A = this chain, B = another copy of it.
Amino acid sequence: MAYELYYWPSIQGRGEFVRLTLEEAGAPYEDVARQHGGMPKMMRLLEGAGVTEPPYAPPFLKSGKLLIAQTANILLYLGTRHGLAPKTERGRLFVNQLQLTIADAVAEAHNVHHPIAVGQYYEDQKREAKRAAHHFTRERIPKFLGYFESVLEQSGGPFLLGRRISYADLSLFQLVEGLRHAFPRNMERAEKKLRLIEPLCERVALRPRIADYLASDRRLPFSNQGIFRQYPELDG
């Protein structure tokens, strides 16, 4: 039976981390809210009607009778089922830890353009966003990427856990792609100091199912409605 993925239909957002894992797994899924009549279906589940384990927000995944929310939680579930997480407890804990660290970086990247309030327009917090971006690009991007670089050094590469790919690699690829889109100038500078992350991202992009996905219309483009937004004034 196909999985049902529920996420906002017009952006990559946090749903993209789930899509990448589903695609690499070759798992059949429906991207429900992008189908005709899908949005009302998602909203009904969000309102919690008849839902035993209600989600706080998209993305969430329906797998048989299970309804699973929170990106890292969905990936923990899918990774274990589709060979994209280690079989050992130790390995599973570490891949979850890496994913949660990626999630922290993603949340901070979103805060850059919405430092005051997620519910207000970017234009109403543009000055503050510029200050936030300065700090994020100078301090936080190098710290996060430096951490993942050191994990790759420690594992021996080419992937975060060593020789086998995991869902955290797909997520790191998406984080790096997003940062490159949002902060091209700063990322060019930051990546000069990195040796192992770029080859990892290339390897991910070249995996047959991922390459196929990225070239398809299932892959939405980055946009200024999503997490990684291209505002040149924030990439000073």
Interface residues of A, Cβ cutoff 8 Å to B: 48, 51-56, 66, 68-70, 72-73, 76-77, 90, 93-94, 96-97, 100-101, 104, 107, 111, 115-120, 125, 128, 131-132, 135-136, 139, 144, 147, 150-151, 154
User: CA–CA, A227 to B52, complex, Å?
Assistant: 31
User: CA–CA, A111 to B136, complex, Å?
Assistant: 14
Docked-complex contact A131 and B117, CB < 8 angstroms: yes
Docked-complex contact B135 and A116, CB < 8 angstroms: yes
What are the residues of chain B within 8 A of A72 when measuring CB–CB?
72, 100
Docked-complex contact A150 and B48, CB < 8 angstroms: yes
Using A90-B66, A97-B73, A107-B107 as known contacts, say yes or no to A128 and B154 having CB atoms under 8 A apart: no
Count of this chain's copies in the oligomeric assembly: 2
Using A116-B115, A119-B135, A150-B54 as known contacts, say yes or no to A76 and B97 having CB atoms under 8 A apart: no
14 pairs of residues in contact across A and B, judged by CB atoms under 8 Å: A53-B90, A53-B97, A54-B154, A56-B101, A66-B93, A70-B96, A70-B97, A70-B101, A73-B93, A77-B93, A115-B128, A115-B132, A117-B135, A120-B135
User: CA–CA, A111 to B116, complex, Å?
Assistant: 9
What are the residues of chain B within 8 A of A73 when measuring CB–CB?
93, 96-97, 100
Using A77-B93, A117-B131 as known contacts, say yes or no to A147 and B56 having CB atoms under 8 A apart: yes
User: CA–CA, A55 to B96, complex, Å?
Assistant: 12
What are the residues of chain B within 8 A of A70 when measuring CB–CB?
96-97, 100-101
Known: A66-B93, A77-B93. 17 other contacts (CB 8 A): A48-B154, A54-B147, A56-B104, A56-B147, A68-B97, A69-B97, A72-B72, A72-B100, A73-B100, A76-B96, A104-B107, A111-B115, A115-B116, A116-B131, A117-B135, A119-B139, A125-B131
